[in-house]
Amino acid sequence: MGKFKKVFYSQKVAPYVFVLPFILSLIVFWAYPLVSGIVMSFQEINFGNRTFIGLANYAKLAKDKFFAIAVGNSVEYMILTLILMIPIPLLLAVLMESRITKAKGVWKVIMYIPALTSVVISGMLFRMMFSESAGSQMNQLLQFLGRTPIAWLKEKWTAWIALLLLCMWRWTGVNMLYFVSGLKAIDGSIYESADIDGANAWQKFWYLTLPLIKPTTIYVITISVYAGLSMFLESFMLWNGNSSPKNIGLTIVGYLYKRGIEKNDLGYACAVGMVLMVIALAINVIQLIATGTFKKED
């Protein structure tokens, strides 16, 4: 027992003891599922019976028109969310940290509350708001503006307005807080020097804030790329299921769910998941290279 205590309290062993829970969690909840998914993507799985079929699932994916639609929808959604969810939260964060904003803590809480709301509840609320009935909130707004009610969720461009508004409502506050934390890390004396040199608000934002907040921006872009490509539950709740008119709401994860859960084709679903992982990694690596993240500092 004494020997065990001596080893356990050793300065050489102690660091490994502290990191052991993280390593075990990484193996159990990330490494093992990843390896299992890769292996299963090369198999045909029927009620627990596995048959190795090589690249057959990937060859089938290449000819699958529904998978192509899902990839197109997910990439389009990701691009649109990046356009909306990077500059708008950044500008809100700058406004939040400016001197003209009062009760900053209250506004931060108000902006963050939607993120605490269940996606299921949020999706149901937006489905009712954008219902095709004349009594829905959005159709009442159209009638107030002198327009006739429309079926919002049956046409792509109107349905995507609902989907993007749902995304903005839930995540604008979260991204804003990321940018607020980045702004707080900037030394205030830099702005004081800029004031002495006569820089206006736009010059300080463009030449000081944007370059200095670059690490936070890269982080927000990275998580937003993954979030956009992996979006599923918002679409599922908005259309009350995994079937939308003309597949306008079909995403990569939605198609994975359809093949893996609804059709019990787990091998094919794993192949879909592997392609999603490769797409997300490729896009993020490209944007990290483009932003100079991988460059060595002088």
What confidence tens digit (pLDDT) does each residue in 97-111 have? 888 888 888 988 899
Q: Is residue 17 part of a domain?
A: no
CA distance 75 to 77: 5
Q: What is the mean pLDDT of the chain?
A: 89
In this predicted structure, what is the pLDDT of residue 3? 62
Q: Which residues pair with 51 in a beta bridge?
A: 44
Q: Is residue 260 part of a domain?
A: yes
Please, are residues 88 and 172 in contact by the beta-carbon 8 Å criterion? yes
Q: Which residues of the chain have pLDDT under 50?
A: 298
Q: Which residue segment(s) compose the domain that 71 sits in? A: 64-290
In this predicted structure, what is the pLDDT of residue 242? 86
Q: What is the dihedral of CA 17, 18, 24, 30, to 10 degrees?
A: -150
The domain tally of the chain equals 1
* Burial class of residue 144 in the structure, from the number of CB atoms within 10 Å of its CB (0-12 exposed, 13-18 middle, 19+ buried): exposed
In this predicted structure, what is the pLDDT of residue 24? 92
In this predicted structure, what is the pLDDT of residue 297? 54
In this predicted structure, what is the pLDDT of residue 6? 65
Q: pTM of the predicted model, to two decimals?
A: 0.88
Taking only the tens place, the pLDDT of each residue in 41-74 is 999 987 778 889 999 999 999 999 999 999 999 9
Q: Is residue 268 part of a domain?
A: yes
Q: Is residue 50 part of a domain?
A: no
SS3 93: helix
For the chain, what is the largest distance between any 2 Cα atoms, rounded to a whole number of angstroms? 85
Q: Is residue 138 part of a domain?
A: yes
Percentage of the chain exceeding pLDDT 70: 95
- Exposure of 199 in the CB half-sphere (CA atoms within 13 A): 17
Give me 57's structure tokens: 């699932």
In this predicted structure, what is the pLDDT of residue 5? 63
In this predicted structure, what is the pLDDT of residue 10? 67
Q: Is residue 216 part of a domain?
A: yes
Q: What is the CATH number of the domain that holds 187?
A: 1.10.3720.10
In this predicted structure, what is the pLDDT of residue 224? 93
* Burial class of residue 93 in the structure, from the number of CB atoms within 10 Å of its CB (0-12 exposed, 13-18 middle, 19+ buried): buried
In this predicted structure, what is the pLDDT of residue 275? 94
In this predicted structure, what is the pLDDT of residue 262? 87
Q: Is residue 249 part of a domain?
A: yes
In this predicted structure, what is the pLDDT of residue 18? 81
In this predicted structure, what is the pLDDT of residue 9? 63
Q: Is residue 178 part of a domain?
A: yes
